[in-house]
Amino acid sequence: MEFGAEFYVLVAFIVFMCLLGYLGAHRFVLSALDARGQAIADELAQAAKLRAEATALLASFEQKTREAEAEAAQIVADAHAQAERLAVEAAESMAEFVARRTKQAEAKIALAENQASADVLAVAADLAAKAAEVVLRAETGGAAGAKLAAREIAALEDRLR
């Protein structure tokens, strides 16, 4: 029986595989593959952990954004309310000021009217006194004036006692 080249290659291959099995090459290859698989699993776990952290951080930032927007809206609402309150207070203050100034003006007008009335009365009294003086001089001339003066002097003595 004659063997061809392919037979010897087959026998050499089988001997080589048995030698590798005997020396433990398959364990080395399997441990390398296991290590590589474990490294990939660790990287996937790390990636999942980072994704979870990123998702949590994004949610946190979105919550802070909503809170900041709500706070800004509250500040704007408070500012509007304060502006309205100040406008009402300013209107009330202006109304009080106008009322006070009107009252002061009315008081000044009343004072001026009273002063004018007093001035008119004083002028009227002066004119009446001058007119009475003119009439009395005209009527109290002569004997009637002497008699009137004597009577008033006597009355004055009685009043003084």
Express each pLDDT in 94-118 by its tens digit.
Answer: 999 999 999 999 999 999 999 998 8
What are the extents of the domains in the chain?
13-160
Cα–Cα distance measured from residue 134 to residue 148, given in angstroms and rounded to the nearest whole number: 16
Identify the pLDDT of residue 119. Answer: 86
At 17-53, the pLDDT tens digits run 999 888 888 888 889 999 999 999 999 999 999 999 9
Query: Residue 1's pLDDT is what?
Result: 66
pTM, to two decimals: 0.43
pLDDT of residue 38: 95
Q: List, for residues 122-135, the tens digit of each pLDDT value.
A: 888 878 877 777 77
Whether 138 shows a pLDDT value over 80: the answer reads no
**What was the pLDDT predicted at 125?**
80
